[in-house]
Structure 1
Amino acid sequence: MDCRETVTTFLDFYREHGHEVPTDRTLLPPPGDDSVLFTTSGMHHLTPYLLGRPHPQGRRLGGVQRCLRTTDLEEIGDPTHLTVFEMLGSWSLGDYGPGQSLRWGHRLLTEGFGLRPERLHVTVFGGDEQVGPDLESLETWQDLGVPVEPLGADNWWSNGPTGPCGPDSEIFVWTGSDEPRGTPSTDPGWVEVWNHVMMRHDRLPDGSLVPLPQRCVDTGMGLERLLTVLQGKDSVYDTDVFEPWQRTVPGLWPLEPRRHRLVVDHLRSSMVVVGDGVRPSNTGRGYVLRRLLRRVLTVLWRGGLPPLDDLPLDLYVHTLDHFGQSPSRLQSQFQLQSQPQFQPQSQGSGGVSPEQVREVLLDEQRRFLELLERGRRLLSRRPRGEVLDDRTLRFLHETHGLPPELVEVLSI
């Protein structure tokens, strides 16, 4: 299955079971929510409704949410981590319970996506000093004939130190070439693809738990990770989502694999962030964007490689189309182009054109290169043997606007 088929299969399945699809997929958290800079999970925009507020589209929802996480930024470059990714999700807002959610999940994975039942394994919450084991999930999986491993804290989901929480059940797929063996906690051949959270409790500041006004189910399945399994790939970067990037980038910048993945991930993520209205700055969301771009530019600068000017507009078009950010959609919201040429879309209301996104990236590149040159001149005048200690780094940053990470690059 390619990406378009996978998303269509997921959405059609939940529509057939009475779920409405929310249209808001933005990376920006809801107005007034200062808890995070960006949307980090599929349920983030739904928190008020999980806590009991009626949702205008009803009690059954299913959709695709783009997410951004900076917690794994240092892991970018390995085969699995992405800064911006998409989450397939379903939600029961006080409607059906865990058993129904798990049965539907099993049916979609095996009948919809064609995964072999014998290559599935699950984990459930086995209980702790506050809450007993999740018997409903355990019994559901046993009834479906799926091997179950009860675990502790690994199967308890929280949105933070306080707030909605509850036991979860994680579904794993065996990815080894041989027959399945061991359990998810004992063999890395088991890869998690889907998490079903039984949202039952609200954790208070003192650590105690109180029941939520309504019991909900919140599920999340990473699209790119699922595609890696469905397409039999070793890396998310080898799935069809990244095909245009893998076809284009090596010809522009020959890089070793880890740096290649970092450049692809950060450029793609930057386009999506700009597409949602963020601009580079020294604080908040803008700083995250600036950091992503400057990491890319540092890799290219260190390697003596050409800058971003030659990056084809096709990749901007592809990325905005894929994430549903193009103002005028000539393609389906979830369609991925794999042909050599894409048709640029003109600017329209409600979105940012590919040309505008490219201009933001090139302007930030210009600023970065100017800063590099200024920093090079400044550091060349420092006394021989001067140690770049914390005090010196702070002076360079506060007085001359040179971030410590940039000074480090120039000092190598």
Structure 2
Amino acid sequence: DIDKVGKTPDTLTFFYMLGSWSIGDYWKEEALNLAYRLLTNGFGLSPERLAVTVFGGYMGIPPDKESKRIWEDLGFSPERIFVIEGEDNLWSMGETGPLGPCTEVFYDRGEEYGTRAIPGDNSQRYVEIWNAGVFMEYTRDEDQTLSPLRNRCVDTGAGLERLTAVLMGKSSVFEVPPLSQLVELISQEASVESPNAPEYQRVISDHLRASIHIANEGVMPSNKLQGYVLRRLIRRTIGLSDLLGIENPLKLVEGSIEVLSQEIQYRSTQTVKAIFEYEYKTFLRTLERGKKQLAKYLDSSESDLIPGEVAFRLLDTYGFPLELTISIAKERGFRVDIEGFRELMEQHRRISKAN
């Protein structure tokens, strides 16, 4: 979801997940009653502001009529129960293993966010606050045969930041601490005005938080696994900071470390700073070379669409990330052929694998 961060009010690369499990114990009736009681009696949310989705059937698995009946018994009107067919409300471990239907709870922000909106669409009216029940009752074999699990399980999950935003009456996770504090810190350091500044500030705040957590675990930037995730987040932070005219992104790191001390028990703040400083120095030359090559192309282009091969060459030859190509292009009124880029990336992967 990295491409959605900053564009939506509640997408994050790093968040705290609240959850609970029942392994071979209680089932749907108790799970949904517990969820409803906590949201309404515990957190004080109005029942009229809640909507739910239930599984409508897929891959030979029948619709989850039991969850629908339980929500109805709890007082949900038909207008607030959305039956979703297909895989959106079906959880699985992968091609094989446990799977089962799920039912999700959404908070309705009101008709001002869309009169025809439904939970799970691209509107901002409904925000998912709890997957109140992943009901694992099947297992799938390699030949795709479904069999009942010996012990049925219930898994629930709720994003702390989204739930906090709803409880505080905010419309975005970036309006609640610590992300709101990071956004303010970034805003104070920025020296360039841009219509895209609010989006960039949200992206940087998320990426800084995620990167600092990862670096605190001792992960080093690299081109593989966790190290690649950290490198990608830090480099995007550096690139967007450059677009906002932030001369020294490392100053942001220091301020963010202090802000995040409320949620992180640091092993060594000096190590975290050193990791960011190393990656900043490593990436700085790449950033300048890539910016120069991209500017040269944009200055001479007669089309507002940057071909996928141009974006791919910037990455392959100069190590210039696609996300930065998209952001810089956006600043100058250009678009990027992302599909063309992805096709070339896939070709590159196939060739690399064959070799």
TM-score (norm 2): 0.75
Instruction: Quickly say closer, same or farther: Cα 1:312–1:277, change in 2 above 3 A.
Output: closer
- Read off the aligned partner of 2:239 and give its amino acid letter: T
Deviation of the 1:210 alpha carbon: 1.4
Q: Distance in 1 between matches of 2:293 and 2:51?
A: 58
Q: Distance in 1 between matches of 2:149 and 2:274?
A: 47
Identical pairs, percent? 39
- Read off the aligned partner of 1:262 and give its amino acid letter: V
Deviations 1:249-284 (A, max 9, x none): 211125611111111111111111112221101222
Counterparts of 1:17-56 in structure 2, within 5 Å, are: none
Match of 2:50 among 106, 120, 138: 120
Give the equivalent residue in structure 2 for 1:232. 169
- Read off the aligned partner of 2:265 and give its amino acid letter: S
Instruction: Quickly say closer, same or farther: Cα 1:266–1:389, change in 2 above 3 A.
Output: closer
Counterparts of 1:10-409 in structure 2, within 5 Å, are: 72-78=1-7, 79-128=9-58, 130-147=60-77, 148-153=81-86, 154-176=88-110, 184-185=118-119, 189-195=125-131, 196-254=133-191, 256-311=197-252, 313-322=254-263, 325-327=264-266, 352-372=267-287, 397=316, 402-403=319-320, 405=322
Give the SS at the match of 1:107. Answer: helix
- Read off the aligned partner of 2:107 and give its amino acid letter: V
CA RMSD of aligned residues (A): 3.6
Instruction: Quickly say closer, same or farther: Cα 1:213–1:369, change in 2 above 3 A.
Output: same
Q: Distance in 2 between matches of 1:389 and 1:172?
A: 38
Structure richer in helix, relative to its length: 2
Which runs of 5 or more residues in structure 1 are unaligned? 1-71, 328-351
Q: Is the 8 A contact 1:110 1:116 kept in 2?
A: yes
Q: Distance in 1 between matches of 2:38 and 2:311?
A: 58
TM-score (norm 1): 0.66
Q: Is the 8 A contact 1:375 1:407 kept in 2?
A: no
Deviation of the 1:220 alpha carbon: 0.8
Instruction: Quickly say closer, same or farther: Cα 1:277–1:213, change in 2 above 3 A.
Output: farther
Q: Is the 8 A contact 1:88 1:220 kept in 2?
A: yes
Aligned pairs, number:
310
Q: Distance in 1 between matches of 2:140 and 2:274?
A: 45
Instruction: Quickly say closer, same or farther: Cα 1:182–1:372, change in 2 above 3 A.
Output: closer
Give the equivalent residue in structure 2 for 1:23. none
Instruction: Quickly say closer, same or farther: Cα 1:372–1:119, change in 2 above 3 A.
Output: closer
Which runs of 5 or more residues in structure 2 are unaligned? 301-306, 333-355
- Read off the aligned partner of 1:163 and give its amino acid letter: G
Q: Distance in 2 between matches of 1:389 and 1:221?
A: 38
